[in-house]
Structure 1
Amino acid sequence: MSTNLQAFVHTLRFEAQDTISVDLRPVAGGELPAFTPGSHIDLHLPNGLVRSYSLSNPSEERHRYVVGVLRDRASRGGSRCVHESLRVGMPITISEPRNHFALDESAAHTVLVAGGIGITPLLCMARRLKGQGRSFEMLYFARERKGAAFLEELQALGMPLHLHFDSEAGGPPDLRALLAQRQPDTGTHHYACGPTPMLDAFEKFCAELGHANAHVERFTPVEVKAADDARSNYTVELKRSGRFIEITPEKSLLDTLLDAGIQMDHSCCEGVCGSCETRVLEGIPDHRDSVLSPKEKASNKVMMVCVSGCKSERLVLDI
């Protein structure tokens, strides 16, 4: 389980229409745990919700974490609470950084594709690549220029930057054509973060065009149905606790563990944040998350217990 940290809100800053950045500093001063580009942290909000947000500040910084938060019109209480309830000086519990969207700094070339608030992890990546003198470029899409957060900071980096604003261009970008400008190259890595339709198109076009190293981070889950060979009833052995728990169709694996008094990190309960990642010692999970790559799922070394199930009679977890 990750360790929670005690921080306070140092600065709230307007970044774009409906978007603010939150600068978090440690209550006791000193340094925060190091993080890598693509990382995110959980914020334990005043209304009791726990929400994950990507870190946008330079990964070399140890004195603060900065997240960008869009006020979502369909907010279930997370982004609305950040915008309406957080105040400068307010204490807040946060998690240590986690990274399921890691940047390959050895890539010959990197293409960053951002849609709206999806710019936050990619801004951190751009800063790192610029500092390392690596070859990279960015495609940044937004409905309107006034809604494009961190635009001045991106332009100041002096990188190849393709901007597209629907309101000025008369419609959405031709993502396939933009990706097709680059020939398939095993040394090039593509990263995308943004709304679900953009990410679905990104994955589809990268596959069609032969861009093998395509990485995405999602804010909302992809619906993954249970596998045909997934079991409705199975036994979970908690190796460190020495306990055996029966899982039935009435409750998710996570809810069953929580009801049994097992302390588990969790946040989204939708398989997108990675908070509940758990090491698998034996058995075959039925992966239904939107975090792990196909390769990671095939290895069956970890699973997201909030949404995933099991294909074997018994599952042994490192709990």
Structure 2
Amino acid sequence: MESTLQVRVAEVIEETAEIRRFELVAEGGGELPAFEAGAHIDVYAGSTGIRQYSLCSAPWERHRYVIGVKREPQSRGGSVWMHDTVRRGASMTIGIPRNNFALETAADRHLLFGAGIGITPLLAMAETLARDDAEFTLYYFARSAAHQAFKTRLAGSPWASRVRYQLDDGGPTIDLAAELAAASPATHLYMCGPQGFMDAVRRAASSWPDENVHLEYFAAGPVEHADGDQPFEIELARSGERFHIGRDETIAQVLLDAGVDIMTSCEQGVCGTCVTTYLDGEPEHRDFCLNRRERETRVALCCARAKTATLVLDL
């Protein structure tokens, strides 16, 4: 199965002064590959490389994909390229949808916390949960009404009564600690937004079981390097090959340079493309896509290092 496909931009719509909605359809017409709520696509953003954007359309709308992109001038350039270059009618290359942020279908209730552009994956979740008659509440945080994207869609949805809002410039506030403390043990929490917002929600949910908390970052946060990065060795269990990872090298970079067949995308530990099982050794995890349980067996090759002299990968 091909990992990429060609699409045409059917609509480009201003949601706010900073956020645009892009509607993508198959270049030759017909249905697009299926996806589930929480999925994202890779967008091949010209010379800026590959960028990831969450799908916010309802998963059963197979005639289109919808993404929301906030212009971030201080980022790596993908969002600026989207805003300044992509117009209605343009052709684009995208990746097949992947999902590192899936709904837990066995949960009794779902709490969806989104801030700013972080609302995008939660829209598809809300659509799915409403269709399935599941219990959920969507919490939407924004700087002001002018910064709220998808307002018309939210207000007109059959589940509009399940959405709660907080604006930084005034109005009702949401007590994170109180909302999370009142949840039942079978409730699952999903969050997406800027680093500060994510940190605040995670602190409020610090007593929750790790398996009940699901999160997605749009960009990697800062990583502390207290004692500097130390070199280490990588062993590939299937071939027995060994590679030296220097202080200024990544596992992914060394393996790719050696011709090892691995996939990478964001190179920030966000998208999960390069996540691989490890069999021995202790990684130093620096990703933003794996939870505590997943880190017991898996590692993101683009950013992780090793606390042990050797890390054995299932490659």
Mark yes or no: TM-score above 0.5.
yes
> Aligned residue for 2:55?
55
More displaced stretch, 55-64 vs 271-280: 271-280
Q: Indicate conservation of the 8 Å contact 2:48/2:77, yes or no.
A: no
What are the Cα deviations for residues 156-190 of structure 1, in whole angstroms up to 9, with x where unaligned?
Answer: 22332211112233xx945435525x524111111
What is the deviation of 1:276?
1.9
Taking a change above 3 Å as real, the CA distance of residues 267 and 173 of structure 1, as seen in their structure-2 partners, is: farther
Q: Indicate conservation of the 8 Å contact 1:226/1:309, yes or no.
A: no
Find runs of 4+ consecutive structure 1 residues off by over 6 angstroms: 209-212
> 1:214-229 maps to which residues of 2 (within 5 A)?
214-225=213-224
TM-score by length of 2: 0.88
> Aligned residue for 1:297?
295
Taking a change above 3 Å as real, the CA distance of residues 308 and 186 of structure 1, as seen in their structure-2 partners, is: same
> Aligned residue for 1:259?
257
> Aligned residue for 1:77?
77
Q: Which amino acid aligns with 1:190?
A: L
SS of residue matched to 1:179: helix
What is the deviation of 1:295?
0.5
More displaced stretch, 6-15 vs 107-116: 6-15
What are the Cα deviations for residues 236-260 of structure 1, in whole angstroms up to 9, with x where unaligned?
Answer: 32737x7543222231112212322
What is the deviation of 1:2?
7.8
1:183 equivalent to 2:185? Answer: no
User: For 1:280, which of 278, 281, 301 is the aligned residue?
Assistant: 278
Between the aligned partners of 2:86 and 2:20, the Cα distance in structure 1 is: 11
> Aligned residue for 2:137?
137
User: For 1:309, which of 281, 305, 309 is the aligned residue?
Assistant: 305
Q: Indicate conservation of the 8 Å contact 1:226/1:288, yes or no.
A: no
SS of residue matched to 2:107: coil
The answer for unaligned runs of 5 or more in structure 1 is none
Between the aligned partners of 1:202 and 1:29, the Cα distance in structure 2 is: 41
Q: RMSD of aligned C-alpha atoms?
A: 2.7
Q: Which amino acid aligns with 1:145?
A: A
Q: Indicate conservation of the 8 Å contact 1:143/1:166, yes or no.
A: yes
SS of residue matched to 1:112: strand
> Aligned residue for 2:166?
164
Identity of aligned residues (%): 37
> Aligned residue for 1:110?
110
TM-score by length of 1: 0.87
Between the aligned partners of 1:281 and 1:208, the Cα distance in structure 2 is: 30
